[in-house]
Amino acid sequence: MIEFHQVSKVFESNGNKVEALKNINLTVEKGDIFGVIGFSGAGKSTLIRTVNLLEYPTSGKVIVEGKNLAKLSQYEIREAKKDIGMVFQHFNLLNSKTVFHNVAMPLLLSGYNKKAIENQVYETLRFVGLEEKAKNYPDQLSGGQKQRVGIARALTTNPSILLCDEATSALDPETTKSILNLLKRINEEYNITILMITHEMKVIKEICNRVAVMEDGQIIETGNVYNVFAHP
């Protein structure tokens, strides 16, 4: 579960202030596939990035599985972040490392032993359907395969929350469908709560159960997908 309580974020650049988030209140329940939709510049990316402290709120608080990460020690933040996977629009893979190594990275950084890493990485690669690509490099993969690697990397630490930042926006419609199906399986089979941001209505309609509509740093509407999009 993720709770946003009166979250605001102000960016200052060259003397200009941008209010990217204005007093956001929002609850993402355990097991949700929660979509946040809005135009470019609405504040979606800033919002999702406050969940794993890639951005700190200027005021207000974000509670993740009962914890306010911003109040924890550096060690506790590292531990808490293992519970939050993140998937990016442009995959953010290390091109000089194999698929195996990319997926192993979060576990290597956490000091797991070699055998445990190998088991976990292969199990996760099997789950996303890329076991046979373990020794390949990202350059040798299609966009959809790269995103599967990104998803596998996000899952290796067995998180309870998955954040998706425009995860399908760089992919063609067919590939988008297969990645959305994979996200749905992750939600159903591992009971992982998914918070995703997108500017594409069809993505929300395809897999989300709940949605928030963002505009100019605010949430202007929220509810279940059917109700929010049922009226003109």
**Cβ nearer to ligand ADP, comparing 92 with 96:** 92
DSSP annotation of 52: T
Q: Is 102 in the site for ligand ADP (CB under 6 A)?
A: no
Measured CA to CA, the distance from residue 135 to residue 48 in angstroms comes to 32
Q: Is 18 in the site for ligand ADP (CB under 6 A)?
A: yes
Antiparallel, parallel or unpaired: β 16-28 and 2-13? antiparallel
**Cβ nearer to ligand ADP, comparing 120 with 145:** 120
In this structure, how many other beta carbons lie within 10 angstroms of the beta carbon of residue 113?
A: 8
H helices present in the chain, as ranges: 44-49, 74-81, 99-109, 114-128, 143-155, 173-190, 201-207, 225-230
**Cβ nearer to ligand ADP, comparing 90 with 96:** 90
Q: Is 127 in the site for ligand ADP (CB under 6 A)?
A: yes
Q: Is 57 in the site for ligand ADP (CB under 6 A)?
A: no
Q: Is 190 in the site for ligand ADP (CB under 6 A)?
A: yes
CB 197 within 8 Å of CB 165 = yes
Q: Shortest approach of ligand ADP to residue 158 CB, angstroms? A: 4
Q: Residue 173: CB partners within 8 Å, gap ≥ 6? A: none
Piece of 12-20, 62-70, 135-143, 203-211 that binds ligand ADP (CB under 6 A)? 12-20
- Of residues 33, 155, 208, 225, which one binds ligand ADP by CB under 6 A? 155
**Residues binding ligand ADP (CB under 6 A):** 11, 13, 18, 20, 38, 40-46, 120, 123-124, 127, 155, 158, 190
